[in-house]
C-alpha cells in the first residue's frame, strides 16, 4: 500500500492552480511531513488556461490568462521516534492577466496584472501515540504585484514584501489499512506594501492573504487500492487589493471550498496510477475583470514509476471546465472556458 499512498500526494503538482478560487495555486499542502524516514522531493508544473469573453456580444477579450509554471520542493526527516520536521517551498498564491490580444473595441484592451509569491514553510509533527499526532509550524511569504489598465491610464507597482504566518493541525492514522486523516489550519498573512501609482510613490497598502483550512483523507479499500478525498476552505472575502488611487481594484464576493475525490492503484512493484475529480461550486453574481471565472470541474490522471526502491518519478495531467462568469463594470460574458495542466515530481527516500 505504500506506493499508492505516496502517489496520492504526487499528482496535483501545478494541475489545478489556474482555476482555483481567489488566487490559490499550490493549495498549501504539507504532505511531505507524512512521508517515512528521510525524504526529499522536487516538482514542476505547467498550467495553460484558455479564458476569454465577449463585451456587448461582439468584442472579444482574447485569451486573457497566460500560461504559467509552478515550482516546489520539500525536505523531511525524523528527529526522534516521535518528532519529525519538514521544510517546504512552494508558490501558494498568484495571478497572471493579459488582455493584449483583445479586440480593438474591448474596453480593457492592453490591461495586465501579475501577482507573485513564494513561501518557505517549516513544519514539526509530534506523534502522541501510534494513531494521533499534532503538527504546527511557521510560513514565510514573499510577495509582490503590478497592474496596468490603459482604459483608466492607470499603473501600480508594489514593493516586494516578506511576511509571516503559522499553521496548526492534527492527524489520525491506522497504518494497517493505509488510513490517514489530517486537518490543517493556515493563518492569514497581513502584508503592508508600498505602492507606486502612475509613477508616484504613495501611502502603504495592506493586503490580507486568507486564512484557510485543509482536510485530507485516504484509506485502503482493497488490496493495493487507495481512496482519497480532500477539501480546502479559503476566506477570500477578506482579500481586498485597494490602492489609494484605485479603491477595490480586486475584491472577492465569496469564500471558496474546493474538493477532490480520487482512487489510487498499484499495478505492480514499479507502476501505480490514480484518477481523481475536482469541484468548486459557482457562486453567481459579478466577477472581477482581472479574474473572470466562477468555480470549476476537473479531472486528473497520473502515473508513478518506482525507478529504484528509494527513488520515484510521478507525472499527472489535469483538464478543467471553468465556470461561466459575468464581470462587473463592463458586464462582459465569459463562457465555455477551460484549462489544461501537467506536473512532474521526482522523490527520493534515504
**Between residues 14 and 119, the one the model is more confident about:** 119
**Residue 192: pLDDT band by 50, 70, 90 thresholds?**
very high
> Whose CA is closest to 301, among 314, 310, 289?
314
Q: Do the beta carbons of residue 94 and residue 145 sit within 8 Å?
A: no
Whole-angstrom CA distances from 19 to 48, 56, 192, 322 are 10, 25, 27, 7
Q: Which three cell numbers stand for residue 350?
A: 534515504
pLDDT score for 201:
87
Cell of 156: 501600480
CB 55 within 8 A of CB 106: yes
Q: What is the mean pLDDT of the chain?
A: 91
For the segment 60-88, the average pLDDT, to the nearest whole number, is 95
Cα dist. 81→47, 77, 123 in Å? 40, 11, 16
44 vs 203, which has greater pLDDT? 44
**What are the tens digits of pLDDT across the range 274-325?**
999 999 999 888 888 888 989 999 999 999 999 999 999 999 999 999 999 9
Which domains, from first to last, does the chain contain? 2-349 (2.40.160.60)
Q: What is the pLDDT of residue 74?
A: 97
How confident is the model over 135-156, as a mean pLDDT?
96
Give the cell for residue 239: 482579500
Stretch 25-35: mean pLDDT: 94
The pLDDT, as a whole number, for residue 287 is: 87
pLDDT tier, 6 (very low <50, low <70, confident <90, very high otherwise): very low
User: The C-alpha cell of 193 is what?
Assistant: 506594501
Q: Which helix (H) or strand (E) holds 11?
A: none
CA atoms 157, 158, 159, 160: torsion sign: negative
Contact 296, 323 (CB under 8 A): yes
pLDDT of residue 285: 83
- What are the DSSP calls for 67-120, one per residue? -EEEEEEEEEEESSSSEEEEEEEE--B-EEEE-TT--TT-TTTT-EEEEEEEEE
- The pLDDT of residue 19: 59
- Assess whether pLDDT exceeds 90 at residue 15: no
Residue 229 in this model has a pLDDT that exceeds 80: yes
Amino acid at each position: 500500500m505504500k506506493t499508492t499512498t505516496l502517489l496520492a500526494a504526487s499528482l496535483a503538482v501545478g494541475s489545478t492552480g489556474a482555476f482555483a478560487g481567489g488566487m490559490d495555486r499550490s493549495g498549501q499542502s504539507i504532505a511531505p511531513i507524512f512521508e517515512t524516514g528521510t525524504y526529499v522531493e522536487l516538482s514542476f508544473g505547467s498550467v495553460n488556461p484558455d479564458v476569454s469573453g465577449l463585451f456587448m456580444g461582439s468584442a472579444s477579450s482574447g485569451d486573457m490568462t497566460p500560461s504559467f509554471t509552478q515550482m516546489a520542493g520539500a525536505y523531511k526527516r525524523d528527529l526522534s521516534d516521535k518528532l519529525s520536521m519538514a521544510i517546504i517551498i512552494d508558490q501558494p498564491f498568484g495571478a497572471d492577466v493579459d488582455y493584449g490580444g483583445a479586440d480593438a473595441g474591448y474596453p480593457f484592451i492592453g490591461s495586465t496584472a501579475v501577482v507573485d509569491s513564494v513561501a518557505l514553510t517549516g513544519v514539526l509533527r509530534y506523534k502522541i501515540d501510534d494513531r494521533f499526532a499534532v503538527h504546527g509550524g511557521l510560513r514565510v511569504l514573499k510577495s509582490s504585484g503590478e497592474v496596468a489598465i490603459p482604459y483608466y491610464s492607470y499603473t501600480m507597482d508594489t514593493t516586494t514584501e516578506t511576511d509571516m504566518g503559522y499553521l496548526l493541525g492534527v492527524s489520525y492514522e491506522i497504518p494497517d489499512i493505509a488510513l490517514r486523516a489530517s486537518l490543517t489550519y493556515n493563518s492569514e498573512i497581513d502584508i503592508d506594501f508600498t505602492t507606486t501609482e502612475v509613477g508616484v510613490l504613495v501611502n502603504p497598502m495592506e493586503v490580507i492573504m486568507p486564512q484557510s483550512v485543509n482536510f485530507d483523507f485516504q484509506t485502503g479499500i482493497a488490496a493495493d487500492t487507495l481512496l482519497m478525498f480532500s477539501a480546502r476552505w479559503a476566506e477570500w472575502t477578506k482579500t481586498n487589493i485597494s490602492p489609494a488611487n484605485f479603491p477595490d481594484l480586486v475584491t472577492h464576493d465569496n469564500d471558496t471550498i474546493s474538493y477532490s475525490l480520487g482512487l489510487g492503484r498499484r499495478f505492480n512493484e514499479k507502476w501505480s496510477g490514480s484518477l481523481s475529480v475536482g469541484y468548486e461550486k459557482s457562486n453567481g453574481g459579478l466577477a472581477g475583470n482581472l479574474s473572470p471565472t466562477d468555480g470549476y470541474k476537473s479531472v486528473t490522471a497520473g502515473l508513478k514509476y518506482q525507478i529504484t526502491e528509494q527513488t520515484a518519478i510521478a507525472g499527472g495531467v489535469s483538464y478543467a471546465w471553468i465556470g461561466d462568469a459575468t464581470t462587473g463594470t463592463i458586464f462582459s460574458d465569459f463562457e465555455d472556458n477551460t484549462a489544461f495542466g501537467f506536473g512532474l515530481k521526482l522523490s527520493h527516500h534515504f
